[in-house]
Structure 1
Amino acid sequence: MESQEKGADQPHQQYPPPRQTSAWRRFVRSRLPLKPAVDEDPRLLSNRTKGVILGLLGLCACTPGFSSTIYFPGLPMITEGLNAPPIATTLTAALFVLFMGIAPGFWASISDHYHVRRCLLMFSMLIFAVASLGSAVMTNIWGLVVLRCVQSIGSSCGQSVGAGVIADCYPLEKRGAAFGKYFFGVFFGPLLGPIIGGFLIMSNDGWRATFWFCVALGLFAALMVWMFLPETYRDNARFDLELPQTQKSDPTTKPEKAVQDQDQDLNDNDDTSVDRATVVSTTPPPPSPVTKKRRMNPFTPFLLLRHPFILLASLVGGVAFGSMFAVETIIPSLFEQKYNFNSWQTGLSYLGAGVGNLIGSLVGGKLSDRLLLRARKQRGRAMVEDRLTMNIWPCIVLFMPFGLLLFGWMLEFNKSVWAAIIGFGCVTFGMNQIMSSTSAYLVDATPGIGASVTAAANFVRMLIACALTLAANPMVASIGPGYTTVLLAALAWAAAILLLILKIYGERLRHWSGY
């Protein structure tokens, strides 16, 4: 009794509270896995999350175009400072563009084979930052050429894997607007680069300041991807085969009729035919037989070009992008010769193209999906070629050729620089809508391999851009800027014929290819 009273008088033993993991530590741990599980359909992510994803994709995808042009105003300084032959300086731009076409095929193969998106985007930005650091301290022109190739490899991941992420997160009838916003980042990079580069070159570091800026950009993009981009690889076989049941069901419905309705939902090409908000339970699909995984073939994306419909769409987009890049290449030397522009004035002259790109992104994004749904409604069935909507025809037949000719002949006769700037803006306005539509078409036509087919199209696009980059300045020196843009306008009209063939015979070509 006495002992009990003593025990009662003693204070209760205090145990330390269990250690709780801080929110920051949990967040860091959640970002460490290279291949996190995707438990929720990426298409059910909130609009806010999808907006963040698009912003990060645009940030990664802008780096190749941005870094390819940021040093354009300083090309004469590089030639003089490194005692470089003119051909070597040209190769720093041409080979960069060539590797922008080759490298995405390897990134896409890795992404589709290992079912990853996020870690590739992060590592590619780190490669880009390291190569930019080497370029900033390089003292040999041929070393700079090699590092520019590595820089291109690192920056090019976003242009193929980014398209795969959009296919993961957006159903077919909403991809047009998503691609419009995404390509705004892709194309705004090469137009913003010379503007920033023109001012950076005026610093004490000269042209090297442009590469120091790329170091900071690459590290910033890698950090943002690591912190805010979720893994989005969508297992279509898993998420598309889950049969939803809605809250309201008719008790008089026969089982056979319910099965038929579910089969009809599966056969429907419209991804939004089921209201996801009313889903209360799902019937898991039967386990699929285990199949041996194929070995990764990095050349698989390039083999897709054997299909005519993929090759035609790639050529159309390639001509549009290559024409824009050719004009970008000849602007620094021509504006210096014709209008006595210095580096920062040359950089500011790209603002007109940026405005054209912005307007093209906004207009094309809104029109593409709306015209797609209208064409489906009029026909009564879905057809992938509906993605080649009416807005791209005036772009490829009128806006791009008119802009090219206005730009070239204003420079030929040494007329108003503002007219030349407006002409280049017309080119980018049309190019953005053509690229968005053809890229969305390819992703829609080849479900499950969006990254690979985008890499194949990107290879053709960059190959054409590389050829036109190498030929642009010699053509201007030989026949003048006026007739150079006449040839580019003729290429645009030839691409319009290819686009018409794809529009009319695209369905037959897809069926012939097995799609």
Structure 2
Amino acid sequence: MHENSTDNLHNPVSAAINDHTSSPSSMHSLELSQQTQNSLPVETTKKSIPKSSSLARLSAVAQKRVSLRPPVNNDPRLYSKGKKRWILACLALGSSLNGLCSTIYFPALPHITKDLHTNSVGMSLTTSLFILFGGIGPILWASMSDFYHIRRTLYLSSLIVFIVASVGCGLSGNVWVLVVLRCIQSVGTSVTNSVGAGTVSDCWEVTERGSAFSILFLGQFFGPLIGPIIGGGITTVLGWRATFWFCAAYGAFLFCFLFVFLPETYRVEQIWDAHLFHTPEPKNPQTEAKTSLTAVSGLSGISGQPDQSRLSRLSRLSISDESNEHTQVDSTRDLEAADNVDQTQNEINLPSSLRDHQSTAEKQSVQRLNPFQSITMLKHVFVLLVAIQTGVCFGTMFTVETIIPDLYESTYGLKSWQTGLSFVGAGVGNLIGSFVSGRLSDYLLKRARRQRGGKSKAEDRLTLNAWPGGFVLVPLGVLIFGWCIHAHLTIWASMIGFAIVCFGMSQVYASGSAYLVDALPGKGASVTAAANLLRMVMACILSLIAHPVVESIGPGYLATILASLNIIGMFCFVFVKLNGQKMRQKLTFGEVY
């Protein structure tokens, strides 16, 4: 008896059993639990699985891939580093789609205008409304994600919408058909703009999200800057319609890539983080044995017999007092091994201490789906202010992108492929800026917490690198760009100015977006969608007025307006940095010290 009990202590069945190991009745229940495990067939362990079961496992994996609501059997934050890298690769590629599609046909705008017999107003609508619906789409995707507790299915569904719309754009015969299809195309590309932030929140801890967001934003920033390079070459060789065939092909590639490598990651905070806020019930020695047996029997399958894969998975999720960092790494690997053994499980039967939280989440799902509920996030002042400045910053970059083709053609006489290559400098600025912002953000966040004695504060995410980025780099870069073209100076000067804009914008954008996710735990997709809507509306307005302003007063004065807006918007960041915690405390999201 004593020997069996000692073994059980080193291999706990569940967190509930660990809490009661000190009493004789609990020792008896642990012995029964061990006997139950020993009575399970050997075939259920990974090492003893016969080769004949490989086909069954493959079938189970296939069923999980095609499921509209795949189960999340393990905490996504315990995924291995390799699995998280694949998830991040999927997010980066998916986030590049919106920007790539929005700008790939920029070098072809003069050709499309002539071919479809339209004017600059009609062509401006194809770009501005694309951006506007890029803000509306994430609202719909985020609402469905939070309502149905899914991520993966939405990524794949949006790609189907995008592919169909891209084919239609390539076949369009007039500008108004092109405008409508571009709006649908934008909705199909926009899922990562909101749901992607939710996936990052699912899989990465707060202190790791800066680096993860930097890769996510790398796709968002790099797509619109590499798009004209690809589009310029395709337009010169194959014509403007081929740019949309390329978009359809890229969408099909992304669909296959995400279908294979992206798992479902939706993380229900009330379940996986229940130990952070759950108050243990008073222990009753007379019911300890019954509770322990219930925890074991609760792991049974449909037949009522204990299932080894569920049993081992939950036992590994239990963290004993003797656990350390190495044990946690080993547990993560074991969790993945256990998950591969039993891919057909639809859910984990949680201990009774967590069932209340699960039932609460199930009751919430009875509510009706409100696609525009995410917009209500903007009623919070700290969300609105951060969204305004990130919108101004992003709108500045997009406005410059929209006026470059006409300005470079009229001022420097560049051809389509040459205009596309001129975006290389901006792409380099975004590439370097994304890596720098992510690593600096995480480092400065951890340093601020150490200085505070390990206590967290979401406003730490508005890190030091955001201030020179918004107050200096973006205004300086856009002024160099606009006034160098205004004075007909060398094109290299304007290219360098745009690169500075992109580098500075990535510092502001990454800090603001990561702050919103950290400030409202569990609402990452919704709050990102709300901020993205405001951001895209502002970018739409700025891009619509850009051409009339350039034609009336010149690119230099437009650059002055954009620089002024960025400096004013940065004071929104300052206000949130100083007062954000107080505002969040009123919503019970603020930390109390």
TM-score (norm: length of structure 1):
0.88
The percent of aligned pairs where both chains have the same amino acid is: 49
* Pairs within 5 Å for 1:391-406: 391-406=465-480
Q: Kindly indicate whether the alpha-carbon contact (under 8 Å) linking 2:158 and 2:188 is maintained by their aligned counterparts in 1.
A: yes
Structure 1 equivalent of residue 439 of structure 2: 366
SS at match of 1:390: coil
Please state if 1:142 is matched with 2:176. yes
Structure 1 equivalent of residue 547 of structure 2: 473
SS at match of 2:161: helix
Structure 1 equivalent of residue 251 of structure 2: 218
Q: Kindly indicate whether the alpha-carbon contact (under 8 Å) linking 2:137 and 2:187 is maintained by their aligned counterparts in 1.
A: yes
Distance 1:486 1:506 in 2: 30
**Unaligned runs of at least 5 residues, structure 1:** 1-16, 244-273
Distance 2:588 2:418 in 1: 52
* Pairs within 5 Å for 1:457-496: 457-496=531-570
Distance 1:152 1:318 in 2: 18
Distance 2:52 2:187 in 1: 48
Distance 2:178 2:109 in 1: 12
Structure 1 equivalent of residue 519 of structure 2: 445
Q: Kindly indicate whether the alpha-carbon contact (under 8 Å) linking 1:307 and 1:513 is maintained by their aligned counterparts in 2.
A: no
Distance 2:258 2:86 in 1: 10
Q: Kindly indicate whether the alpha-carbon contact (under 8 Å) linking 1:73 and 1:198 is maintained by their aligned counterparts in 2.
A: yes
Out of 241, 257, 263, the position equivalent to 1:230 is: 263
Q: Kindly indicate whether the alpha-carbon contact (under 8 Å) linking 1:50 and 1:169 is maintained by their aligned counterparts in 2.
A: yes
Structure 1 equivalent of residue 316 of structure 2: none
Offset from partner CA, 1:62-85 (integer Å, 9 cap, x none):
111110100011111111101113
Please state if 1:278 is matched with 2:327. yes
Offset from partner CA, 1:181-227 (integer Å, 9 cap, x none):
110001101001100000000123x1001000000011111111111
SS at match of 2:114: helix
Structure 1 equivalent of residue 73 of structure 2: 39
Q: Kindly indicate whether the alpha-carbon contact (under 8 Å) linking 1:198 and 1:347 is maintained by their aligned counterparts in 2.
A: yes
Out of 132, 150, 157, the position equivalent to 1:116 is: 150
RMSD: 1.9
CA distance 1:76–1:124, change in 2 (3 Å): same
Letter of the 2:369 partner, please give it. M
CA distance 1:115–1:89, change in 2 (3 Å): same
Out of 406, 416, 422, the position equivalent to 1:343 is: 416
Distance 2:324 2:200 in 1: 20
Structure 1 equivalent of residue 572 of structure 2: 498
CA distance 1:386–1:343, change in 2 (3 Å): same
Please state if 1:352 is matched with 2:352. no
Distance 2:548 2:324 in 1: 58
Q: Kindly indicate whether the alpha-carbon contact (under 8 Å) linking 1:60 and 1:125 is maintained by their aligned counterparts in 2.
A: no
SS at match of 2:237: coil
Letter of the 2:255 partner, please give it. A
SS at match of 2:410: helix
Distance 1:20 1:357 in 2: 45
* Pairs within 5 Å for 1:296-307: 296-307=369-380
CA distance 1:60–1:286, change in 2 (3 Å): closer
Distance 1:456 1:349 in 2: 33
Letter of the 1:435 partner, please give it. Y
Structure 2 equivalent of residue 129 of structure 1: 163
SS at match of 1:414: coil
Distance 2:227 2:481 in 1: 20
Q: Kindly indicate whether the alpha-carbon contact (under 8 Å) linking 2:274 and 2:354 is maintained by their aligned counterparts in 1.
A: no
CA distance 1:20–1:354, change in 2 (3 Å): closer
Structure 2 equivalent of residue 436 of structure 1: 510
Count how many residue pairs are aligned between Structure 1 and Structure 2.
469
Structure 2 equivalent of residue 156 of structure 1: 190
Distance 1:18 1:408 in 2: 68
Please state if 1:104 is matched with 2:138. yes
**Unaligned runs of at least 5 residues, structure 2:** 1-50, 277-322, 336-349
Structure 2 equivalent of residue 422 of structure 1: 496
Deviation at 1:285, TM superposition (A): 2.4
Q: Kindly indicate whether the alpha-carbon contact (under 8 Å) linking 1:42 and 1:232 is maintained by their aligned counterparts in 2.
A: yes
Deviation at 1:48, TM superposition (A): 1.2
Deviation at 1:22, TM superposition (A): 7.4
Deviation at 1:26, TM superposition (A): 5.0
SS at match of 1:83: coil
Structure 2 equivalent of residue 254 of structure 1: none
Distance 2:119 2:413 in 1: 24
Distance 1:235 1:102 in 2: 25
Deviation at 1:277, TM superposition (A): 4.6
Q: Kindly indicate whether the alpha-carbon contact (under 8 Å) linking 1:242 and 1:283 is maintained by their aligned counterparts in 2.
A: no
Distance 2:247 2:87 in 1: 22
Deviation at 1:34, TM superposition (A): 1.3
Structure 2 equivalent of residue 320 of structure 1: 393
Distance 2:484 2:127 in 1: 26
